[in-house]
């Protein structure tokens, strides 16, 4: 099997799992369903993820963590409060486009402690920490970076529960109002 084909299959498994984990959480999705969505057999799945679903969860968290890090870096230009507002609005737009159940696969890896593994928790911690650092650098305060990550994840949960993406916008607007004076005085 060529490397491109092998990587394509692995990428497809990660992409399918990411979508399913976003909507139903890690515990709510089985390997058979992931294989069906990716149009592969369980043998092919095992070839790409010999550590099973636990290894796939870490790959999903790593991939999404890196993707979001790139997106956060793109929000780095302009006013800090405007950047935070844009971040929350972007997620609200994605939720409107993809459905009210569009959650965070990184959070999904740790939210159900009964099924979370140490490697998945560690990978999620790395992703969240990377986001916190990027935002902290942008906002001039590491604690503010942590606040934005926590507020975003909480707003995603509220928006899903309410089936209302506008919740993300309201939280982002309120957070931007809190951040603006703090970043102005730090600058």
Per-residue pLDDT tens listing for the chain (187 residues): 455 666 799 999 999 999 999 999 999 999 999 999 999 999 999 999 999 999 999 999 999 999 999 988 887 566 888 889 989 999 999 999 999 999 999 999 999 777 789 999 999 999 999 999 999 998 889 999 999 999 999 999 999 999 999 999 999 999 999 988 766 665 5
Residue 33 lies in a domain: no
Distance of CA 39 to the CA centre of its chain: 24
At 86, which CATH number? 1.10.357.10
In a domain, 103, yes or no: yes
Residue 63 lies in a domain: yes
Residue 41 inside a domain? The answer is no
- Domain range holding 123? 54-186
Q: Kindly state whether residue 37 falls inside one of the protein's structural domains.
A: no
What is the C-alpha to C-alpha distance for residues 83 and 101, in angstroms, rounded to an integer? 24
The answer to whether residue 114 is domain-embedded is yes
Question: 0.75 cut: is pTM over it?
Answer: yes
Q: What total number of domains does the chain contain?
A: 1
Q: Residues 5, 68, 21, CA angle at the centre, nearest 5°?
A: 65
23 within domain boundaries: no
Assigned domain for 157 exists: yes
């Amino acid at each position: 099997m060529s490397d491109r084909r092998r990587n394509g299959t692995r990428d497809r498994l990660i992409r399918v799992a990411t979508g399913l984990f976003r909507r139903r959480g890690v515990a709510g999705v089985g390997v058979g369903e992931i294989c069906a969505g990716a149009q592969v057999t369980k043998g092919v799945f095992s070839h790409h993820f010999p550590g099973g679903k636990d290894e796939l969860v870490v790959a999903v968290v790593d991939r999404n963590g890196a993707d979001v890090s790139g997106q956060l870096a793109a929000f780095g230009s302009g006013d800090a409060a405007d950047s935070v507002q844009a971040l929350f609005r972007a997620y609200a737009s994605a939720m409107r486009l993809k459905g009210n159940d569009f959650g965070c696969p990184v959070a999904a890896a740790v939210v159900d402690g009964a099924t979370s593994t140490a490697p998945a928790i560690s990978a999620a911690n790395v992703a969240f920490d990377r986001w916190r650092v990027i935002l902290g650098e942008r906002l001039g305060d590491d604690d503010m970076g942590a606040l934005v990550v926590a507020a975003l994840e909480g707003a995603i949960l509220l928006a899903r529960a309410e089936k209302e993406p506008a919740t993300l916008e309201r939280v982002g607007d309120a957070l931007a109002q809190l951040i603006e004076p703090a970043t102005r005085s730090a600058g």
